[in-house]
Structure 1
Amino acid sequence: MAEEGDNITTSGPAPNGADTQPQIGVISQYVKDLSVENPNAPDVYQWDAQPQIDVQFNIGSKPVSDEVHEVELRIDVIAKADQGVAFQVELLYCGLFGLRNVTDDQAHPFLFAEAPRLLFPFARAIISDAVRDAGFQPLMLEPIDFTALYMQQREQQAAAESGEQPVGTA
């Protein structure tokens, strides 16, 4: 409790009542879609060869309202051996993010780099558990530098818009 004469400073709306400070926050995270396939069970557990694992990522964002965006992190994993598909996991993991007083130039990198970085550890755990629950060793996806991917994609878009030809591939 404040006593008389104490100085109390609060951060809140501007004196005129206008809330002009940029604010970003996580509202919710959730599994929007999850598919786990183990099409060759029980034979797959007798296969000797290690399957080749292909992992694909896709990031999307769409506004839900003026101040809320849904960010989608889609992860598709398929493990194939000479005998066929060992397992396949498709996950669409989403988050709702509140953005207030944030410019488009600030929102875009947040929605396509920082928000996926925040979602990824949870999606990674779901993938690991799903693969384990299908009867395989848990799949631990490597960490991803979403900021570097975002910057690389922006550079490629800029080069494509300017008509430059790429020098090589990575």
Structure 2
Amino acid sequence: MSEKKIKQKIFSIQRIYVKDISFEAPHTPEIFKISTVPTMKFNIDTDIKKLKLNIFEIILKVRVIVKDKTNLVFLCDVHQAGIFLIDNFYEEELKHCLAVYCPNILFPYARSCISHLVSYGSFPQLNLEPINFDNIFNKQLK
């Protein structure tokens, strides 16, 4: 009787790092004198790159744009990246892992980076809400 050997699933974080970072506040110091309620736009995207067999680089791109009625208050871009070893996952599990699990690991790092950059720019602290990457993934499947 032959039994199929079940391989153990492997998920390992190899590295987490900032790939690219940018903060622009082109209208300082004049913008500090304006007392309007700004609006914020928030964009998020991911790039998935297979580096070699079972090794993937995930780049979580987060952009925050804050404007008042006429001026850009600040623009903050953070590309938070990670290298992950992912082995013995079924194809659907791998897709979910790359699109949901890895970004969930990276987002707190990106959120912290953005919060620090904004405060270093002398603006009030910016606390980004958690993101439901499962919801985003499921919408993309439909």
TM-score by length of 2: 0.93
Residue in structure 2 matched with residue 60 of structure 1 by the alignment: 47
After TM superposition, give the deviation of residue 103 of structure 1 in Å: 2.5
How many residues were matched structurally? Answer: 138
Residue in structure 2 matched with residue 125 of structure 1 by the alignment: 112
Higher relative contact order (CA 8 A, sep 6+): 2
Q: When you count strand as a share of all residues, which structure comes out higher? A: 2
After TM superposition, give the deviation of residue 19 of structure 1 in Å: 8.8
Q: Which runs of structure 1 show a deviation greater than 6 angstroms over 4 or more consecutive aligned residues?
A: none
Deviation sequence 1:27-80 (CA, Å, 0-9, x none) = 110000000001000001001102101000001211011021001100011111
Q: Say whether the 8 Å CA contact 1:60–1:112 is kept in structure 2.
A: no
State the one-letter code of the partner of 2:24.
E
Distance 2:6 2:47 in 1: 29
Counterpart of 1:97 (choices 84, 90, 103) is: 84
Counterpart of 1:138 (choices 109, 112, 125) is: 125
Q: Which runs of 5+ in 2 are unaligned?
A: none
Residue in structure 1 matched with residue 59 of structure 2 by the alignment: 72
Residue in structure 1 matched with residue 20 of structure 2 by the alignment: 33
Distance 2:90 2:53 in 1: 12
State the one-letter code of the partner of 1:103.
Y
Cα RMSD for the two superposed structures: 1.3
Residue in structure 1 matched with residue 72 of structure 2 by the alignment: 85
After TM superposition, give the deviation of residue 102 of structure 1 in Å: 1.9
Distance 1:26 1:76 in 2: 24
Deviation sequence 1:72-98 (CA, Å, 0-9, x none) = 100011111123000000111001110
After TM superposition, give the deviation of residue 101 of structure 1 in Å: 1.7
Distance 2:70 2:54 in 1: 50
State the one-letter code of the partner of 2:57.
E
Q: Say whether the 8 Å CA contact 1:93–1:123 is kept in structure 2.
A: yes
% same residue: 28
Distance 2:138 2:113 in 1: 27
After TM superposition, give the deviation of residue 119 of structure 1 in Å: 0.8
